[in-house]
Structure 1
Amino acid sequence: MSTIRIVQGTGEAPTAMASYDAALADAGVENYNLVSVSSVIPADVPVEDVGTAPELGPAGERLTVVEACATTAGPGQVSAALAWSRADDSGPGLFYEVADETDPEDVEHRVRKGLAAGQDLREWSFGEPRVAVEHSQAESGVYTTSLVLAVYGESEPIC
């Protein structure tokens, strides 16, 4: 595997699914079939916070992700957070995700607590945690999605 990229986005649309698609487009991964995995970072794989994904392969292929995503119908707010930490510089690590119809400080606090709990379950010596948060205000009559993804490597053919 090459690199795990942290990407994030927000989208607004007339339906929940369309707002999710718009948020994926904002993050640069709208043309892939996402496959969610649990939150373990393999050893020796770099993690880069890039904001928007580069080209990761042909449209329609499978893309492996850890996803923090929340959608709301406005008015309101929505936040998503992804935290991660590694054992040493290149050891294995963890992602933890939280997403909700709340403020960004709340999801950041909760994702840090979740990550700490996951670290306590393992006998690894973890480095400092990192956190990416996406937040948006939802206007009345519009669906809004905020998401943060850890994208594992490049896309792969489904068939």
Structure 2
Amino acid sequence: MSMIRVVWGSASGPTAMASYDAALAEAGVENYNLVSVSSVIPAGVEVEAVGTAPDLGPAGERLTVVEARATTAEPGRVSAALAWAQSIDHGPGLFYETAGEMDSDDVERRVREGLAAGQDLRDWQFGDPRIAVESAPAESGTHTTALVLAVYGESTPLL
């Protein structure tokens, strides 16, 4: 694994799944089977915020991710945030995710608090945190999804 890429997207659609699929397309990962993992960054791995993923392999393969995602059918706003910090000695790091029907300032505050709590549980010396936030207005009569994903490496075959 050479890199973890942070990608994001938001979209609306006629169903919750349609809005989620469209948000994945905006992030460039709609053609993969996502497998969620908890939030530990392996030692020695670079994390880069790229917005939209490059080609990560053939369609239908497995892609390992940490996912912050919110979907709503109510009018208002939906937001997702992913924060991360890595050890200053190229050791391991952490991702923390938060999402919900809230504005971007609130989701950013909450994800910062979560990351700080996770850092307090560990004896690692962390560098400065980084944060990616995606937020979108939600209108009545449609579903809206906002998401931020940390994508670990490239895809791998399922079978």
Which of the five TM-score ranges fits, normalised by the shorter chain? Answer: over 0.9
- Quote how far apart the aligned CAs of 1:83 are: 0.1
Identity, % of aligned positions: 75
- Quote how far apart the aligned CAs of 1:74 are: 3.5
Q: Displaced runs of 4+ in structure 1, greater than 6 A?
A: none
Q: Matched residues in 2 for 1:89 and 1:23: separation? A: 35
- Quote how far apart the aligned CAs of 1:109 are: 0.3
Higher deviation after alignment, 71-80 or 43-52: 71-80
Amino acid in structure 1 at the alignment position of 2:96: Y
Q: Deviations over 1:22-61 (max 9, x none)?
A: 0000000000000000000001110000000000000000
- Aligned residue number for residue 146 of structure 1: 146
Amino acid in structure 1 at the alignment position of 2:110: R
Q: Matched residues in 1 for 2:7 and 2:90: separation? A: 21
Q: Matched residues in 1 for 2:74 and 2:38: separation? A: 30
CA RMSD of aligned residues (A): 0.7
TM-score by length of 2: 0.98
Higher deviation after alignment, 102-111 or 85-94: 85-94
Aligned residues: 159
- Aligned residue number for residue 113 of structure 2: 113
Local SS of the residue matching 1:49: strand
TM-score by length of 1: 0.98
- Quote how far apart the aligned CAs of 1:89 are: 5.1
Within the alignment, does 1:2 sit opposite 2:2 as a pair? yes
- Quote how far apart the aligned CAs of 1:139 are: 1.6
Within the alignment, does 1:100 sit opposite 2:100 as a pair? yes
Unpaired runs of 5+ in structure 2?
none
Amino acid in structure 2 at the alignment position of 1:29: V
- Quote how far apart the aligned CAs of 1:116 are: 0.3
Within the alignment, does 1:13 sit opposite 2:13 as a pair? yes
Amino acid in structure 2 at the alignment position of 1:75: P
- Aligned residue number for residue 28 of structure 1: 28
Unpaired runs of 5+ in structure 1?
none
